[in-house]
Copies of this chain bind each other. A is one copy, B any other.
Amino acid sequence: MNNLSSSRTDDPAAGGFLIVDTAAVVANWRTLRDSAPSAKTCGAVMKADGYGLGAAELAPALAAAGCRDFFVAVPEEGIALRRAVPDHTIYVLSGPLGSLEPFITHNLTPVLNAPEQVAEWLAHSGGRDYVVQVDSGMNRLGLTAAELTELAPGLKPRLLMSHLCCADEPAHPMNQSQLAAFRVAREKLPGVPSSLAASSGIFLGPDYHFDLVRPGIGLYGGNPVPGQPNPVRAAATLRIRIVQVRRIDTPGAVGYGATHAVTPGMRLATVSAGYADGLLRSLGGRGKGMLGGIEVPIVGRVSMDLISFDVSAVPEEFARPGQWISVLGDGIDLDEQAGRAGTISYELLTGLSRRYARRYTGS
């Protein structure tokens, strides 16, 4: 079923194993790139450590496949990523946070979001490249239309960008409204390449593609078109080690708060990961795992470092200490598991902690 038999001796200290399929991430990048053929360029958003899966490990594989434009959230992520892709463009979405120094020292390209950032960069960067973000209706980051009008005569950005707030809901009127606002903004900077679409935006169609698309979640296997078949492949498999299997002999309850009743004859497997490992507490009583090809439900509350599963339906030979329950991959869908936690794939992925041992396959 898997190649983890050797991992027990490789990593006897870890409670869980995160297996990242580098080939799937690269294949997903190609799928997303090919879904926006009119865009000249397809970048890769690698903020939050590559959505939890490892920016430094994955960026070189994407670079080898032809990706030349990488996006991170804050300067320190750019500094870390620079070591992995020394020759490619790294954009920092926050723009400068109080100092230009990391941008200049590490050759990072800022996304300038506010008039103050624009003024500081133009005055002190020595003519280095930059991106301008315009707000097209999300009211989060970016110049307003009025600010862009005022500043446009002095701007020669490498790229003009904006961000969609409802791209995962194709029928939402914000999409058309933001597209219209972005088109107006583009006219103020003729000849400047532009970018609007992230993963979900790519699937809104060619009107949204412009010169550069910049997928994030789709690279990592999250479905960019909720409610439709997922066009990308799962990239993460997460297996947690069973510490103990208990056969219940008296009626009682399991876990904090004694919220879940147990009855004699049930078998419970407790695994060595919990919410401190990013398996959200909201999965308690709702999430599920896979063991021996059989779905097993989480029972009771998720603890900080432990989760209990009802493994009564699994033959005893597959439910023993030292064996592994999968909570992502191996038949457990990322988006479905996130939904069971009351959230989205993005939050589940970015919460995956470094307490797991990691293996990269397919590179």
**Which A residues fall within an 8 A CB radius of B?**
8-9, 12-15, 47-48, 52, 73-79, 93-99, 101-102, 113-114, 116-117, 135, 137-142, 144, 146, 165-166, 169, 172, 174, 241, 243-246, 248-249, 252-258, 262, 268, 270, 272, 275-276, 278, 280-282, 303-306, 308, 321-322, 342-344, 346-347, 350-351, 354-355
Report whether A268 and B304 are in contact in the complex, using a CB–CB cutoff of 8 Å.
Answer: no
Q: A98-B241, A139-B268, A305-B73 are in contact. Are A116 and B321 (CB under 8 A)?
A: yes
Docked pose: A275 CA to B172 CA in angstroms? 24
With CB as the reference atom, state the residue of chain B lying closest to A164. B256
Report whether A305 and B47 are in contact in the complex, using a CB–CB cutoff of 8 Å.
Answer: yes
Q: A243-B141, A276-B48 are in contact. Are A75 and B12 (CB under 8 A)?
A: yes
Report whether A256 and B304 are in contact in the complex, using a CB–CB cutoff of 8 Å.
Answer: no
Report whether B306 and A254 are in contact in the complex, using a CB–CB cutoff of 8 Å.
Answer: no
Report whether B102 and A13 are in contact in the complex, using a CB–CB cutoff of 8 Å.
Answer: yes
Q: Which B residues touch A245, using CB under 8 A?
A: 114
Q: A47-B304, A94-B243 are in contact. Are A13 and B144 (CB under 8 A)?
A: no
Docked pose: A246 CA to B135 CA in angstroms? 10
Q: Which B residues touch A275, using CB under 8 A?
A: 346-347, 350-351
Docked pose: A278 CA to B97 CA in angstroms? 20
Report whether A97 and B243 are in contact in the complex, using a CB–CB cutoff of 8 Å.
Answer: yes
Q: Would you give the shortest CB distance from A324 to chain B, in whole angstroms?
A: 10
Q: A102-B12, A243-B141 are in contact. Are A272 and B308 (CB under 8 A)?
A: no
Report whether A304 and B346 are in contact in the complex, using a CB–CB cutoff of 8 Å.
Answer: yes
Q: Which B residues touch A15, using CB under 8 A?
A: 73-74, 76, 94, 97
Docked pose: A305 CA to B45 CA in angstroms? 12
Docked pose: A144 CA to B246 CA in angstroms? 9
Docked pose: A255 CA to B277 CA in angstroms? 27
Report whether B254 and A76 are in contact in the complex, using a CB–CB cutoff of 8 Å.
Answer: no
Q: Which B residues touch A306, using CB under 8 A?
A: 140-141
Q: Which B residues touch A347, using CB under 8 A?
A: 275, 280-281, 304
With CB as the reference atom, state the residue of chain B lying closest to A350. B276
Docked pose: A144 CA to B102 CA in angstroms? 57
